Amino acid sequence: MNGADRLCDVLLANGVDICFANPGTSEMHFVAALDRKPAMRCVLGLFEGVVTGAADGYARMTRRPAATLLHTGPGLANGLANLHNARRARSPIINIVGDHASYHLQHDAPLTSDIEGLAAPMSDWVRRVESADAVGGAVADAYRAACSTPGVATLILPADSAWNPVEATLLAPVVLPPKPTLPMETIRSVAGAIREHRGRFGLVVGGDAALEIGTEWAGRIAAAYYGRVFADMLPARIARGRGRTPVKPIPYPIDLAIESLRDIDLLILVGVPEPVAFFAYPGKPTRLVREGCIVLTLGGCGDDLAAALEALADELGATKPTAPVDTTFPAASPPRGQLTGDTVSAILARQLPEGAILCNEGSITGRRFYEFSEQAPPHDFLSIRGGSIGFSIPVAVGAAIACPDRKVITYVSDGSGLYTLQGLWTQARENLDVLTVVLANRAYAILLAELRNLGVNEVGRNATRMMSLTDPAPDWVHLAQGLGVEAASAESCEAFSDILASALKRRGPFLIECLI
């Protein structure tokens, strides 16, 4: 038995039985150890951004960590963008990053780098293993850190710590403390503020508070005291659909965001930080709440947020279930004619199957999907919490592995999808039940919108060429097929509706290119 075996055994003892991987030479002893552990499922990603994004999607749906296996500093660097999204989503992940043998580092070989420096900004916990004997304790600490924060833990494994022998020993799982409950003084203080600001308060829910139980209690409080329930601007995960509390994300465009909070005198944060503008703009505020608005916090991401909301509802006498909202689709005919972002969103919302997991990266073009899908059957909605594009295709991989009995739908604009389209290959290899809907507008539409936000209304040749995806235009059908995923293209509402209906009836990966 060596250090790599011990690493695998500690992971498995704590229920970490998925490893999303893109290994290299320095990790071969760990790869050999994984080969000796049939209980560990190893999933290969062709790019490290797929690996880290898949771990994020898995964590969002299970609330448990997966492991990633990355090759030294450059491999970690390739995965940092989606680790940024994961960290912002408070997703528990355990990164295993291989490095040179400890005695080889002094020679500054080509792959030598400052792994700690690379890992720190996108991790909540970082440690380098000092010896094979230290592997077990370090992995246990990484698991504890990933689960308790929750967040991203990065463990650096020098090659000699992996290959050196260790003594066999009995392993016990890490015992995690229960989530802390909030003191009643906090509950009573927030309750008093709600009574004082009846009709002019809002609850912003995130983390576990945005799951079904949390939103149910938030909805009861809002209904009893005439408040409103908001979500993060780009929520990590929300339980949505018929029979569930309607939750409105704070809009991304700054003017709409300010307007949405204009009549709020009291804003209560439940598992989220105070909402701020996504970017700064000349002459506009960076805080979204108006001057004089009181901002209170009811629990952080590590607290038992559902219990906190239940206790708050009990203190307010707001325990009566809310009346069901009529969210059936109107009788109007479905959209017809040429596809647009809105018609694609409307058709997808109408056909969304019950229990679906929607990984949304529609950016500007598909932004109204959230509005349209409020009438859809119950589903989970995942979005790009950290704003780093290339999120949705990899996250769908992890979500599909976490929930193999549920249809996973990726809703992505072409510019974002091109960042990590290698994830389609993993979907094909693992035969994952993922439907990818690509909004092919042949542009980085979000950047055009940001130019207008800055007052630039005339776009010249240089700017156009940096935001246009033409000459040549990517062919998503052939790209998908080349990676092993069946695909079809649609230009009209009728064609998209028919292809979508057929794709939803089958299992396995499929891609629809929507030419808009």
E strand intervals along 61-196: 66-71, 93-99, 125-128, 152-158
Q: What is the pLDDT of residue 511?
A: 98
**79 contacts 49 by C-beta, under 8 angstroms:** yes
Angle of helix 493-505 relative to helix 341-351, nearest 10 degrees, comes to 30
Domain positions in the chain are 3-163, 184-316, 341-515
pLDDT at 418 over 80: yes
Same CATH topology for 3-163 and 184-316?
A: yes
- The chain-wide mean pLDDT, for the chain, equals 94
pLDDT digits (tens, 9 = 90+) for 219-238: 999 999 999 999 999 999 99
E strand intervals along 62-185: 66-71, 93-99, 125-128, 152-158
Give the CATH fold of the 184-316 domain: Rossmann fold (3.40.50)
**205 contacts 230 by C-beta, under 8 angstroms:** yes
Name the β-bridge partners of 21. Answer: 44, 69
Angle at 60 between CA 48 and CA 186, to 5 degrees: 130
For residues 183 and 295, what is the distance between their CA atoms, to the nearest angstrom?
18
Domain covering 341-515: architecture: 3-Layer(aba) Sandwich (3.40)
Q: Residue 365: pLDDT band by 50, 70, 90 thresholds? A: confident
Name the β-bridge partners of 486. Answer: 510
Query: Where is pLDDT greater, at 332 or 495?
Result: 495
pLDDT at 321 over 90: no
Q: What is the pLDDT of residue 329?
A: 54
pLDDT at 496 over 90: yes
307 token code pair: 């219990």
**448 contacts 368 by C-beta, under 8 angstroms:** no
Q: Residue 463: pLDDT band by 50, 70, 90 thresholds? A: confident
Q: Is residue 298 helix, strand or coil?
A: coil
- The sign of the torsion formed by the CA atoms of 306, 310, 315, 319 equals positive
pTM, two decimal places: 0.95
Give the CATH fold of the 3-163 domain: Rossmann fold (3.40.50)
Q: What is the mean pLDDT of residues 382-386?
A: 95
| Phi, psi angle pair for 312, to nearest 5° | -65, -40
Name the β-bridge partners of 408. Answer: 357, 434
Angle at 379 between CA 59 and CA 374, to 5 degrees: 130
